[in-house]
């Protein structure tokens, strides 16, 4: 545990859609608040009771089943906040996925009046997946360096425009079926048999193009990622590969990314099941966050 007074008094949490459960060890300073994944009669904690692989296998065998997601349950949040108070924490920074994708941020904010003894900072990252998780990791870093929670939150607010996700989907059926496109204010059609390239940043989803096969999809995602980094040193970016469904497809994409850019995406990080419910089980992409100069 860091000796920083700020970190000792301020906890850091991330909603499960930040994919940190895939990379954090048992000593991680970031605690996870799991969304709920509803599979018919089953209600499971996102990333804890079900992972991306298990969800995708289940979905392939239950294509017509009703699925949905929900914010972290209020009783879980209450128990968590009460525990923090008993442990002597005075503040907590909670990074969440975009409010355009989930009501998680609003659900947490609704409980703030019930815990006046705990200063709760809710940072709606405007993103999801590993870029969302990076916000929580940055909060820990800043607190370890001795920054106050207020300074850390101000930094995270400035980081939002620098966060991007570029990804390709074999089908947009899940985005359409679960109302995600409508929630985002987007109107895209699923062109049968074609892959769609999308960009998500600051709560906004845009279609970048449509291609015919996986190789074209890989190349398009890579080209748009390179465009985001154009003219800037690679070390100024946090890069993460992300996927839903087949790991083998992601590995082909990661190899191609390295061939074309000379950069490694590192270990694969699948999106959480709560994200897979909405984007589907056949997609690959890149998360990019341009780091701020402290």
Q: What is the pLDDT along the chain (294 residues), one digit of tens a residue?
A: 344 556 668 999 999 999 998 766 556 689 999 999 999 889 999 999 999 999 999 999 998 888 999 999 999 999 999 999 999 999 999 999 999 999 999 999 999 999 999 999 999 999 999 999 999 999 999 999 999 999 999 999 999 999 999 999 998 888 777 667 767 776 666 666 789 999 999 999 999 999 999 999 999 999 999 999 999 999 999 999 999 999 999 999 999 999 999 999 876 789 999 999 999 999 999 999 999 986
Quick one: pLDDT at residue 116?
96
The whole-model pTM stands at: 0.92
- How many angstroms separate the Cα of 5 from the Cα of each of 8, 59, 76, 91, 118? 5, 46, 27, 12, 16
DSSP characters for 215-261? HHHHHHHHHHHHHHHTTS-GGGEEEEEEEES-HHHHHHHHHHHHHHH
Q: Which residues, in sequence order, are CB contacts of 236 under 8 Å at separation 6+?
A: 290, 291
Three-state DSSP class for 213? coil
Q: Around Cβ 60, how many Cβ atoms within 10 Å?
A: 10
* 153 torsion bin: left (phi>0), alpha (psi -120 to 50), beta (else): alpha
In the chain, list all ranges with CATH 3.30.1180.10.
161-290
246: which 2 tokens? 């087949």
In the chain, list all ranges with CATH 3.40.50.10170.
5-160
Fold of 5-160: Rossmann fold (3.40.50)
CA 187, distance to chain mean position in Å, is 22
What CATH number does the domain located at 161-290 have?
Answer: 3.30.1180.10
Quick one: pLDDT at residue 291?
94
Q: In degrees rounded to 5, what are phi and psi of residue 199?
A: -130, 130
Quick one: pLDDT at residue 8?
65
Taking the C-alpha atoms of residue 94 and residue 12, their distance in angstroms, rounded to an integer, is 6
Q: Around Cβ 58, how many Cβ atoms within 10 Å?
A: 19
């Amino acid at each position: 545990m860091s000796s920083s007074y700020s970190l000792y008094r301020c906890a850091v949490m991330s909603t499960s859609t930040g994919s940190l459960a895939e990379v954090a060890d048992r000593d991680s300073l970031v605690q996870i608040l799991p969304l709920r994944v509803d599979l018919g009669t089953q209600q499971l904690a996102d990333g804890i009771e079900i992972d991306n692989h298990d969800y995708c296998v289940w979905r392939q065998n239950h294509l017509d089943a009703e699925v949905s997601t929900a914010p972290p349950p209020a009783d879980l949040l209450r128990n968590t906040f009460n525990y923090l108070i008993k442990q002597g924490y005075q503040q907590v920074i909670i990074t969440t996925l975009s409010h355009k994708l989930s009501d998680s941020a609003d659900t947490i904010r609704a409980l703030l009046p019930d815990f006046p003894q705990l200063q709760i900072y809710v940072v709606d990252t405007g993103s999801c997946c590993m870029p969302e998780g990076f916000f929580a990791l940055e909060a820990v870093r800043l607190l370890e360096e001795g920054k106050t929670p207020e300074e850390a939150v101000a930094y995270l607010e400035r980081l939002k425009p620098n966060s991007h996700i570029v990804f390709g989907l074999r089908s947009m059926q899940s985005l359409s079926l679960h109302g995600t496109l409508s929630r985002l204010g987007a109107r895209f059609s699923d062109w049968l048999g074609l892959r769609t390239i999308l960009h998500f940043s600051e709560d906004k989803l845009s279609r970048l193009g449509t291609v015919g096969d996986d190789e074209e999809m890989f190349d398009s995602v890579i080209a748009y990622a390179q465009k985001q980094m154009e003219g800037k040193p690679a070390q100024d970016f946090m890069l993460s590969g992300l996927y839903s469904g087949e790991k083998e497809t992601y590995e082909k994409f990661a190899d191609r990314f390295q061939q074309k850019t000379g950069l490694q995406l590192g270990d694969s990080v699948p999106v959480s099941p709560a994200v897979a419910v909405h984007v589907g089980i056949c997609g690959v992409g890149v998360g990019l966050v341009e780091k701020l100069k402290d």
